[in-house]
A and B are shown apart, each in its own frame.
Chain A
Amino acid sequence: MIKLKAVLDNEDLVQMSRKNRKNSFLHALKRDYLLYGLLLLPIAYLIIFKYAPIYGILMAFQDYNIFQGIGGSEWVGLDVFKFIFHQNSFYRALTNTLVLNLLDLVAGFPAPIILAILLFEIRYVKFKKATQTVLYLPHFLSWIIIGGMVYLIFSSHGMANNLLNALGLGSIEFLSQKTNWLIMYVIVGIWQNAGWGTILYLAAMTGINRELFEASDIDGCSRLRKIWHITLPGIKHTIIILLILQIGRMVSIGFDRPFVMGNSLVSEYSDVISTFVYRVGIGSGDFSQATAVGLFQSVVGLIFLVTANYIAKKVGEQGIW
């Protein structure tokens, strides 16, 4: 029975190769109509909600009028971009985005690696499990909740300043002084992400051949040497892939974190591209400008990603594609 089916399939294949492409596609459609049927909804979803907005990018080259739509609005070429590139507030948002992302990269990227190595080195399973449970928790909190907690803890009469005052150190303007705000922004980011970030590294570490550790034990290697020569090389690929992805996100920035953590006193540092797009687009209703800024961000982000991937491959590493 199975054999017969296989033979039939084979004959089908021979016949297929004789016919033209269209027929073979019809044949595939007939054979796998259930599978194609399953794909219908996801594809429709992607076309409507992912590809249609790409068409909407045309707004960036128009003097878009919401009542006339893309079809009826006047084309202005690159005028919108020229206008944006002459605006100081755009450069401020761009610079802030780059600065905040760079700080996140420098301070935030190594944090999960260090934590993962420590967790991997711990031999007390119960302690390890309990610590992990607690460390993953912040990842599941929204930025609204985190922002609220940060405000309540670090405002002028929050816990942090209470403690400083009790110790006679005087209060610190954690959230309203610009440099302090930057530091807080980065620290809170690490607080939220470092624990969760360990998961991928720990997964990679469990994939390291145990024999390597056993052999190095026999050779009397110190712990640090084992970390340096076995653990770190074992997670190198993961580190590089995550690094590529993070560099690719250099110009794009989430909305919630800067929006919730920022306040009017530090807007000089906290106004980033995403909040700029929100203010200009939704706030002032200037859709063309906001779309143009979004397009600029997407394109530059893509260039960053492709470049980082290219460099990684050039130096002999596995890229993300």
Chain B
Amino acid sequence: MNSARLIGIVGTYGVVVALAALVLFGFLRYERFLGFFNVMSVLRYNSMFALVALGMCFVIMTGGIDLSVGSVAALGSVASALASPHGIAAGVAAGVGAGLAAGLINALLVTRANLMPFIATLATMLAASGSALLLAGNQSVSVSYDSGFTAIGQGNFWIFPIPAVIALVAYVVGSVVLNYTSTGRTVLAIGGGEDASRLMGLRTDRIKFLVYVASGCLAGLAGVVLASQFGAGQPIEGVGWELSAIAAVVVGGTLLTGGSGSVMTTLAGVLLLGILFNILNFENGLGWISLSAYWQSVIRGLFLLVVVLLQARLTGRRGSWPATTSGP
């Protein structure tokens, strides 16, 4: 095993090991860290970010980027809050529909107008944010508590928070699509070399179109969860979500240049960044030292730096980032 391969393995599974270490640390240090309540609330809260990061993961694997996810989630939350009096289905449909619309705009700008993904999704980000504020009339929109809409964010499926279940299902589906369908493999091939993929006869534009649409829909769904969980559609929420999602994806071992990545380690990336925050809370609760919650951004940044430097070391020479590239 050469060193490049070793770094590749560290890069791919390091996040899982780091997550396990962090959980173990928390378990040994804080009495209620692995308590039912804490675990469930961490999962419930982070599922929105997980949904957004899943879409981002697919976009990044094609070598693109989607800066609009945060404001699309805000738009989705407003749309679903407005539709919530008509029932769960209406709320979900409105939120996901808003995300779908934004995703379609991104997809068209990138594949038809040939705009750089960065700029295309930046424009959509502003437009979605503006639309959210317009729809909501510049304030948060409370959801209907009578229609049962809040169950999506606040309810449980057996003992598990529904948003966490939704996110888990989305990740399982995402993982199957990535690993067991030609669509998924094409996503990775495009990111690894768009021209080569085209020469191989793969339908690159169609797949790129799909990932932006999917990212929009997932962001919309995250918005539905947001509205339902906090009881209100929040037009100004979602600022900076896109970059946290990018960070989670990268920490999860997906190459930012595309071509290599994994859905499940992205989930680990989301949880890792989420648990850092949780641990900071516990640490302060112990009262021995007082670490401000703001350390989490600093630590997130450091994580990102380490991963990015590792990736740069690898892609700088011949060698492989991923330890394995295909399914079982």
| Physical interaction between A and B | no
Interface residues of B (CB under 8 A from A): none
